[in-house]
Amino acid sequence: MADITDIKAILYTEKSLSIQEDGTVVIQTSLRMTKNRLKEVLKEYFGFSPLKVNSLRVNGKTKKFRGVIGERNSYKKFYVKLPEGARLENVEA
């Protein structure tokens, strides 16, 4: 079961900052988070229900570092449309 600890970070990239002006926040989570569970977590911990949630799975890339092959971690990314006046606070990466 997913909970608040499955939210890893709020992403602040050039693209995410441009869509934040429209009230959409980009959240990075663990793979076990679902849309419905994310809505429950936002309602329980932050006191609002999102208007819309879109999800995206990002698979980890295979990389080579000093001749050793490794893989980055996979994660889920959620685009969350916030209601008017709602904010996400106290989320630590």
The model's pTM: 0.84
Q: What share of the chain has pLDDT > 70, as a percent?
A: 92
- Residue 10 CA to residue 88 CA, distance in Å, equals 9
> pLDDT of 51-83, one tens digit each?
999 999 999 999 999 999 999 999 999 999 998
- Angle among Cα 49, 34, 72 to the nearest 5 degrees reads 125
pLDDT at residue 92 in the model: 46
Cβ neighbours of residue 1 under 8 Å, at least 6 residues apart? 37
pLDDT of 91 higher than 60 = no
In order of their start, the domains of the chain are 4-81 (3.30.70.330)
